[in-house]
Amino acid sequence: DAKTTQPTSMDCAEGRAANLPCNHSTISGNEYVYWYRQIHSQGPQYIIHGLKNNETNEMASLIITEDRKSSTLILPHATLRDTAVYYCIVHFTGGGNKLTFGTGTQLKVEL
Amino acid sequence: DADVTQTPRNRITKTGKRIMLECSQTKGHDRMYWYRQDPGLGLRLIYYSFDVKDINKGEISDGYSVSRQAQAKFSLSLESAIPNQTALYFCATSDLPGTSGRTGELFFGEGSRLTVL
């Protein structure tokens, strides 16, 4: 599975959009981009995933560049409850679903 | 009730003791995983199982063993616990991605905090 690079931490004002970047320059054609978040020491929670098209669900939007070497998770209206560690993972689901988590981005949403 | 249940939630033990962490799930998933998390670090995969007869080592399997007793149950054992195995342990499950709208996402338990003195 390709490795990812994320900023260690980010701040965001409540109500504003939080844009979390992720670089995955070694991604291969059959690898998906997954995003999870972990609040305090709870189990990580799935947010969204995509292959090459942009995706949106009730939690967030995922923007993947055309060359697929980077992506951005967008929380459109961040709240204090979105304060968490966000993990970007690149993974080939067809060969086994053994996701490996890096250290992620600590997002702090403030008033 | 939680879809993925881990027991115990907290455990303090001594060096050399045998410890078992248990995980059960009601998701009906074939795939189960054990992860370890150390303070300030991400999750590292210990073992994973794609069905009852399939067990695979992850990146940090030394010092651990697992048992897949049934589709719904996956246990992690520390045969002789040592202090550097003090960590937060997570069990997770997933389905096979790409079929019938399945995402292949991982569903995590609430974690088992283990302290080895």
pLDDT in tens, A81-93: 999 999 999 877 6
pLDDT of residue B97: 66
Q: Give the distance from residue B13's alpha carbon to the nearest chain A alpha carbon, in angstroms.
A: 21
Report d(CA B52, CA B54) in Å as an integer: 6
In this structure, which long-range contacts are made by residues B63-68, counting pairs with CB atoms below 8 Å and at least 24 apart in sequence?
A: B64/B34, B66/B34, B68/B32
Q: Could you give the count of Cα atoms lying within 13 Å of B96 in the half-sphere of its Cβ?
A: 7
pLDDT of residue B48: 92
For the record, the structure tokens of A6 come out as 């994320």
Confidence check: pLDDT of B41 > 90: no
Nearest CA in chain B to A8: B40
Report d(CA B6, CA B23) in Å as an integer: 5
Nearest CA in chain A to B95: A97
Nearest CA in chain B to A88: B42
Confidence check: pLDDT of A97 > 60: no
Across the interface, whether the CB atoms of A98 and B103 are under 8 A apart is answered no
DSSP secondary structure string for all residues of A65-90: -TTSSEEEEEETT--GGG-EEEEEEE
A87 touches chain B (CB under 8 A): yes
Contacts with B, A 11-70, CB within 8 Å: 32, 34, 36, 41-46, 49
Residues in chain B within 8 Å Cβ distance of A101: 35, 42-44
pLDDT digits (tens, 9 = 90+) for A37-72: 999 889 999 999 999 989 999 999 999 999 999 999
Q: For strand A18-23 and strand A84-91, is the pairing parallel, antiparallel, or unpaired?
A: unpaired
